Structure 1
């Protein structure tokens, strides 16, 4: 049996795809093939991991105007024909769509050819591809319960979002004996987030009384100078480990007591699996403001707090950090709330549903 996974663009689409692929190939007689485009991270991420990747042209219809929109629509017939040829040649038994530029045409073609198709929607607000394809697919698996509101109820199932194997093994400090100092992990995705970086550094003067009990691990991205950021921490008297990029997130998750981060789908999924309390700062320009909805999903169950970027200042962030460092019972209750939402078997559940769907 061959499984075709259409995923690409960002880590939020690719990492769940990899987690699913790993679960699929554990089963006898199943092979996995990815379909993406040259436009996303898939060409850099998937081949080094040993996954076969086929490419389609990238065509975006969202947020385009004028001649660009006309050009995009003009390219659609050729894209659909290429997707048709790919599906006919590969003859997959199932198609799993997780998002990215290739997901829409491949999933639509597979549905029209009566190949069982499954969508995975990891965000609280379904993306454009999910909304357009909802009527055509066999099943829609949800990472967050709020997404069900915008989708056909008879097709949705709450499974959680698959995460990497390494993340599944994380034991947060809330589940172990506490080790001082209190550690705050800050990151804004693989590229960093300059506004979060700035706010964290501006918070330090308001945290001066905590220099001996507070430690930072900070992923700053590639647009900041590591030496300059490290110097600010040193001048303010704080212990800090500063990185442009952290590959082994599982290691820093295990060291952290609190996370300051954006609210992308994979961040939400990984924080939930690791049961890590967080201060979430949603990216305000995400499609349909889905990051805010993702953050609100955790805030609603008591697993996180949220600061909107428009309200973000160093002082406001410092006050939130102080509240949580001084209230261990609140931190524990946040971890326990996430534990109730945690679904470590998400990948296996989705694989089972894919194999059973007709």
Structure 2
């Protein structure tokens, strides 16, 4: 890599939801000859991917976890320390631009960029601005969103907002090349149930009872793949064994993009990454937003796909075994409806988001 090439600093919280789009943008920028580095928190050191240890800078950061005065003071102190580290880091690295992907670890580098006159961009994955991005929105040069309409009600911010989509890792792009084939009425019906770290428990509570309520003729067709927490594994497996369901259960799937592509219907939470991946790959889904979040981001995310005709949105209070069994039965009986949902989801997806975001970065950085 040319050490004189412009450097783009990517800032992201240390979870996959923030790191995956940062990696996708990093790959697009490197193909254009730019240098990239990642500034993040210590959690990201567990991930392996585009960024090697010598291209990662860890900046102190803390999330606002409660309104307790002592907790707020500790968070404020940590963020202030992160600011000092970030200012020093940016002065040393002299990046052409700083791009943030959400999470509190993006605050110090992007505020430091504002202080030092370095162009800043934030990318919002959800259908509503997260707290960190909301704070940064008026302090950056440009805002990129995964989904349309995020800032339509705020003209000041809408004027500097571009909808680019969610930058996708290579595994999603590969999965998107797999054409959707509706189930044969007499053939296997492939159902994938995934909950993520905050959703697998409700899936373990509801899905087995829903499967039991299906017609026995559908049991024999069902090929079920379900993400199940280790502590719920025995009770979930007992139900499927009793019903003689062809089921694969695991606490985590390393090849989730390929599994999304291989199934006829997905039941899932509606995090930004999941919704964007379902749209990019083009798969019908039943989405159950995580309740109780401050921003109701998962409810809004699911709304984008449901309004497009690519998903059914069921709030958790209505996500009962009877309701789920009814929806699965109806969809399994209507292959054409599944095919139309898959196409509607695909129409809402963007596979060129990383390139579109790279275009915006080049424009804002003036390089």
Normalising TM by the smaller chain, what interval?
over 0.9
Matched position secondary structure for 2:249: strand
CA separation of 1:302 and 1:287: change in aligned 2, threshold 3 A: same
Q: Which residue does 1:262 correspond to in 2? A: 269
Q: Which residue does 2:228 correspond to in 1? A: 220
Q: Which residue does 1:53 correspond to in 2? A: 56
Matched position secondary structure for 1:149: coil
How does the TM-score come out when normalised to structure 2?
0.90
Residue 20 of structure 2 corresponds to residue 15 of structure 1: yes
Q: Which runs of 4+ in 1 moved over 6 A?
A: none
The two structures, once aligned, show a CA RMSD in angstroms of 2.0
Deviation at 1:82, TM superposition (A): 1.5
Residue 331 of structure 2 corresponds to residue 324 of structure 1: yes
Matched position secondary structure for 2:36: strand
Residue 45 of structure 2 corresponds to residue 43 of structure 1: yes
Q: Which residue does 2:9 correspond to in 1? A: 4
Consecutive unaligned residues of structure 1, counting only runs of 5 or more, are none
Q: How far apart are the structure 2 equivalents of 1:137 and 1:222? A: 43
Q: How far apart are the structure 2 equivalents of 1:269 and 1:31? A: 27
CA offset digits 1:124-147 (Å, max 9, x no partner): 010111111111111111111131
Matched position secondary structure for 1:224: helix
How does the TM-score come out when normalised to structure 1?
0.93
Equivalent pair of 2:224/2:247 in contact (CA under 8 Å):
yes
Matched position secondary structure for 2:229: coil
Q: Which residue does 1:95 correspond to in 2? A: 98
Residue 354 of structure 2 corresponds to residue 347 of structure 1: yes
Match of 1:290 among 290, 293, 297: 297
State how many pairs are aligned: 354
Match of 1:211 among 204, 219, 225: 219
Q: How far apart are the structure 2 equivalents of 1:318 and 1:264? A: 23
Matched position secondary structure for 2:98: strand
Consecutive unaligned residues of structure 2, counting only runs of 5 or more, are 1-5
Equivalent pair of 2:65/2:71 in contact (CA under 8 Å):
no
Q: Which moved more, 1:313-322 or 1:147-156?
A: 147-156
CA separation of 1:176 and 1:244: change in aligned 2, threshold 3 A: same
Deviation at 1:303, TM superposition (A): 1.0
CA offset digits 1:33-84 (Å, max 9, x no partner): 111112x3x1111468636211111222364322211332344433211211
Q: Which moved more, 1:214-223 or 1:265-274?
A: 214-223
1:1-358 to 2 correspondences below 5 Å: 1-28=6-33, 30-38=34-42, 40=43, 42-46=44-48, 50=52, 52-61=55-64, 63-149=66-152, 151=154, 152-171=157-176, 175-176=180-181, 178=183, 180-190=187-197, 193-209=200-216, 210-225=218-233, 227-357=234-364, 358=366
Q: How far apart are the structure 2 equivalents of 1:13 and 1:69? A: 24
Equivalent pair of 1:119/1:139 in contact (CA under 8 Å):
yes
CA separation of 1:239 and 1:265: change in aligned 2, threshold 3 A: same
Equivalent pair of 2:188/2:221 in contact (CA under 8 Å):
yes
Matched position secondary structure for 1:247: coil
CA separation of 1:171 and 1:124: change in aligned 2, threshold 3 A: closer
